[in-house]
Amino acid sequence: MERSEVSVTQSESAPWYRRVLWLIAIWFGSVVALGVVASFFRLMMHMAGMTTH
């Protein structure tokens, strides 16, 4: 059986720049999510009276 043009195109990997952009987007999203969680914990600790001053 021969492979059609569509299946050959779908099985190829994405260009390197698209993979790098996805890597950067996922990294940036994880940094933002970590910042949100850290801010939430900091707010909760401040509300509980745990201050540094």
Question: Tens digit of pLDDT per residue, the chain (53 long)?
Answer: 555 555 555 557 889 999 999 999 999 999 999 999 999 999 999 999 998 76
Nearest in space to 25 (alpha carbons), one of 17, 15, 14: 17
Instruction: Answer whether residue 6 is part of any domain.
Output: no
pLDDT of residue 18: 95
Kindly state the tokens that stand for 19: 């993979």
- The structural domain count of the chain equals 1
Q: Distance between CA 20 and CA 26 in Å, rounded?
A: 10
Alpha-helix runs per DSSP H in 1-53: 5-11, 16-47
Instruction: Answer whether residue 21 is part of any domain.
Output: yes
What type of residue sits at position 38?
A
pLDDT of residue 51: 81
pLDDT of residue 48: 94
Domain membership of residue 39 as a residue range: 16-47
